[in-house]
Chain A
Amino acid sequence: MKILKTLVLLLTLVSTAAYALLEVTIIKSEENAFPIVIAPFEVIDDAEQGAEIADIIRDNLNRSGQFNALSSKGVITNKIDFSYWKARKKDAIVFGKIEKVSSKVFNVYIYVYDIYTKKRLYGKKIAVHNSGIRRISHYLSDKIYNVLLGQKGSFDTRLTYVTMTNDENMGRVYQLEIADADGHNAQTVVKSSYPILSPAWSPDQKKIAYVSFKNGRSEVFIKYPFMRVKSIKLPRFDGIASAPSWHPNGQGLVLTISREGNKDLYFYQLESKKLIRLTKDSAIDTEANFSPDGKSIAFTSNRSGQVQIYIKDLTNGKIKRATFEGTYNAKPVFSPDGKALALVHRVGKDYRVALLDIKTRDLTVLTQNKLDESPYFSPNGGMIIFATNRDNKGVLSVISLHNNQIVELAQKGAEVREPNWSNYSK
């Protein structure tokens, strides 16, 4: 009987491990998109992975909203027909070849040419292990993006998020998962019958801070997903502990701790294990986020009587209000250049992701949804990922700030929420 039960549980694990995030493009916009063509890779010696590389690169570039990347059918071996592509109004062409070196190792050659000048913009040869195909494709996508647009891409990065399933046998099960930025390679890091929220990648991608209710109340933990190291529990007083956010140097976090009913922001230093109090207001102060230079924090507070966003300058201790439009503004996150905040803004009865220019105070609402939550920037600042509902199911949505193109990431049979985007893999 016990063996049967173990088998059943194993099978359940099998099926959950197989679920990846499924990508669906909802609103595609070709405005302002760089038209390029990606030719299938020439395959030498039975290296079918070539097709995969070209597909991943194409999908990545399209997802950014800045490219209109089409696949072409013909394999390019030596000569490029520039006039052919010029006539079809393509600006650049990407092609390459893949050759098998051994059973699990391949050489990948990739080239990018400008169709108008006929100049080679990029050329590289890389040795790859079989299991590194996806990673190489993301790495190359970032290179191509950079060579064509002069900016960093966000493809060789990872997401973390929370899923929730609810069925008759298991009840509610929450999973803290990580995945590649395109939704592939989803893996479970923490699995629990109790709610999990606010996962946050450390700047070096070696740790994830998150909130768990496994001990009957909200507590903040730091987990090392890839090391056999015990999780760390952060200190708390007599109430909630939540909303962890990393300092850009990775040496500490700001979090919300409730003491005698008062919810304030505290900084926790990892090495010394010291707690430093950052706000002293009797109002709710929560959802803090460090600026990229580590010198300020933006946070949500109801100290004015409404839910609004404030920024505390940590160098002089001054706190200034940042949002002045509307009666509910919350969950601020800094853009990588430190000039803007993504946040949740209430319009009438709807909660929508918006962008605030910190200096000018201009607020731009980015969606027309009803229940947006948890926005976070891609590391190059070109996209914002957030949680929303689609047909009453929780999904993640990625919006490109260049042309408002939206891509949704969903998981079969589960609610997906609380997304966080890693830094660049080093």
Chain B
Amino acid sequence: MTKKIILLTSVIFLSSCAGTSIQDLGDKFLDLINPSDPAVEVEDLSDSVLMLDDESGSFSGEDLAESGVDSSEQSRTQTATEVAVETLEDAGVSFVLYFSYDDTEIDEEATQVIIDHANFMRNNPGISLKLEGHADERGTREYNLALGENRALSVKEVLGLYGLENRVEVVSFGEEQPIAFTHDEDSWQKNRRVEFIYQ
């Protein structure tokens, strides 16, 4: 409900910026130009009101306040998945794998990490896994989106050897979700990764 109001307001605001009512601009302009005038070469200059799609989750902050959810007041019980995952984390198993530049290969160390996760999944049959693939910022965005997917698919392939492929979803974010931002190898190394996210 609040989202709709804001959307309407933003649309009105944007149109009022143009300095005139956009709706009647078209008709007025066309009336003024005499069709026989050789100067008539420009089409109607009016653009309709811009239809803004506002999907920014920043408004979810408001929604939360509305619904009365305040996490600091209520104690939320952990789900069984979260408890199990915490145990895996406590055991020191890594939830991120890193890759070499422009590469999707899994080395021995990484394979061992994947095996740990495979065992975890076998011991927790209800849990499903999302593998998120990422790339560093160098090169083109779309190619990096594909590269990120291939990295996650390499990990999934290993899990497939344990018959777990049906419980694994692959999503690529390409270079869009870096976790390090210094534009050098230090950061790039940390961004070339696949993350294990259980749900």
Q: Which residues of A contact B (CB under 8 A)?
A: 1-2, 5-6, 9-10, 13-14, 17, 101, 104-105, 124-132, 135-136, 139, 169-171, 173, 187-195, 197-198, 212-214, 216-218, 223-229, 231, 238-240, 242-243, 256, 258, 261, 263, 284, 286-287, 300, 307, 328, 330-331, 344, 346, 351, 371, 373-374, 389, 392, 418, 425-426
Chain B interface, >50% SS class: mixed
Q: Is B190 an interface residue (CB 8 A)?
A: no
Q: Is the CB of A307 within 8 A of B139?
A: yes
Of residues 54 to 88 in B, which have CB atoms within 8 Å of A's CB atoms?
54-59, 62, 65-66
Q: Is the CB of B20 within 8 A of A218?
A: no
List 11 additional A-B contacts (Cβ < 8 Å) besides A127-B37, A130-B19, A192-B55: A6-B6, A10-B6, A136-B42, A169-B58, A188-B14, A190-B54, A191-B52, A217-B171, A226-B47, A242-B142, A331-B142
Cα distance A321–B150 when bound, in Å? 23
Partner of A13, one of B13, B53, B102: B13
Q: Is the CB of B42 within 8 A of A126?
A: yes
Q: Is the CB of A214 within 8 A of B55?
A: yes
Q: Is the CB of B20 within 8 A of A213?
A: no
Distance in Å from the Cβ of B159 to the closest Cβ of chain A? 13
* B49 (CB) vs chain A CBs: closest residue: A226
Tell me the number of A-to-B contacts counted with CB atoms below 8 Å.
Answer: 197
Cα distance A136–B137 when bound, in Å? 40
Q: Report chain B residues within 8 Å CB of A214.
A: 55
Q: Is B122 an interface residue (CB 8 A)?
A: no
14 CB-based A-B contacts, threshold 8 Å: A1-B65, A124-B39, A135-B42, A170-B56, A171-B58, A193-B58, A195-B176, A195-B177, A218-B174, A226-B50, A228-B51, A284-B150, A286-B145, A286-B146
Partner of A129, one of B32, B146, B172: B32
Q: Is the CB of B53 within 8 A of A284?
A: no
Partner of A9, one of B6, B55, B57, B149: B6
Q: Is the CB of B2 within 8 A of A14?
A: no
Against A, the Cβ 8 Å flags (1 = close, 0 = not) of B116-153 are 00000000000000000000011111110111011001
Q: Report chain A residues within 8 Å CB of B42.
A: 126, 132, 135-136, 139
Partner of B145, one of A130, A131, A218: A218
Distance in Å from the Cβ of B191 to the closest Cβ of chain A? 13
| Interface size in chain B (residues, C-beta < 8 A) | 61
Cα distance A344–B173 when bound, in Å? 21
Q: Is the CB of B149 within 8 A of A198?
A: no
In the complex where A286-B142, A307-B139 touch, is A192 in contact with B56 (Cβ < 8 A)? yes
Q: Report chain A residues within 8 Å CB of B146.
A: 240, 256, 258, 263, 284, 286
In the complex where A132-B45, A263-B146, A284-B146 touch, is A191 in contact with B171 (Cβ < 8 A)? no
Q: Is the CB of A231 within 8 A of B18?
A: no
Q: Report chain B residues within 8 Å CB of A171.
A: 57-58
Q: Report chain A residues within 8 Å CB of B23.
A: none
Cα distance A256–B146 when bound, in Å? 9
Cα distance A46–B46 when bound, in Å? 24
Against A, the Cβ 8 Å flags (1 = close, 0 = not) of B13-36 are 110011110000100110011000
Q: Is the CB of B171 within 8 A of A216?
A: yes
Cα distance A374–B47 when bound, in Å? 27
Cα distance A169–B62 when bound, in Å? 12
Q: Report chain A residues within 8 Å CB of B9.
A: 6, 10, 13
In the complex where A191-B52, A225-B51, A426-B43 touch, is A197 in contact with B141 (Cβ < 8 A)? yes
Q: Is B91 an interface residue (CB 8 A)?
A: no
In the complex where A131-B18, A191-B56, A258-B149 touch, is A239 in contact with B50 (Cβ < 8 A)? no
In the complex where A198-B141, A263-B149 touch, is A131 in contact with B19 (Cβ < 8 A)? yes
Q: Report chain B residues within 8 Å CB of A240.
A: 145-146, 149, 172
Q: Is the CB of B55 within 8 A of A351?
A: no
* B154 (CB) vs chain A CBs: closest residue: A261
Q: Is the CB of B45 within 8 A of A131?
A: yes
Q: Is the CB of A187 within 8 A of B14?
A: yes
Distance in Å from the Cβ of A126 to the closest Cβ of chain B? 5
In the complex where A5-B62, A351-B138 touch, is A125 in contact with B20 (Cβ < 8 A)? no
Q: Is the CB of B140 within 8 A of A239?
A: no
* A102 (CB) vs chain B CBs: closest residue: B32
Q: Is B170 an interface residue (CB 8 A)?
A: yes
Cα distance A126–B42 when bound, in Å? 9
Distance in Å from the Cβ of B102 to the closest Cβ of chain A? 8
Cα distance A410–B71 when bound, in Å? 40
Q: Is the CB of A287 within 8 A of B143?
A: yes
The 3 closest A-B pairs by CB, nearest first: A193-B57, A132-B45, A195-B176
Q: Is the CB of A14 within 8 A of B55?
A: no
Q: Is B161 an interface residue (CB 8 A)?
A: no
In the complex where A126-B39, A256-B146 touch, is A231 in contact with B20 (Cβ < 8 A)? no
* A176 (CB) vs chain B CBs: closest residue: B53
Cα distance A331–B144 when bound, in Å? 11
Cα distance A226–B18 when bound, in Å? 14
Q: Is the CB of B52 within 8 A of A189?
A: yes
* A8 (CB) vs chain B CBs: closest residue: B62
Q: Is the CB of A127 within 8 A of B176?
A: no
Q: Is the CB of A13 within 8 A of B32?
A: no
Distance in Å from the Cβ of B148 to the closest Cβ of chain A? 8
Cα distance A189–B10 when bound, in Å? 11
Partner of B56, one of A173, A227, A256: A173
Cα distance A238–B170 when bound, in Å? 8
Cα distance A195–B141 when bound, in Å? 11
Q: Is B48 an interface residue (CB 8 A)?
A: yes
In the complex where A5-B65, A17-B13, A129-B45 touch, is A243 in contact with B51 (Cβ < 8 A)? no
In the complex where A129-B45, A131-B18, A173-B56 touch, is A198 in contact with B139 (Cβ < 8 A)? no
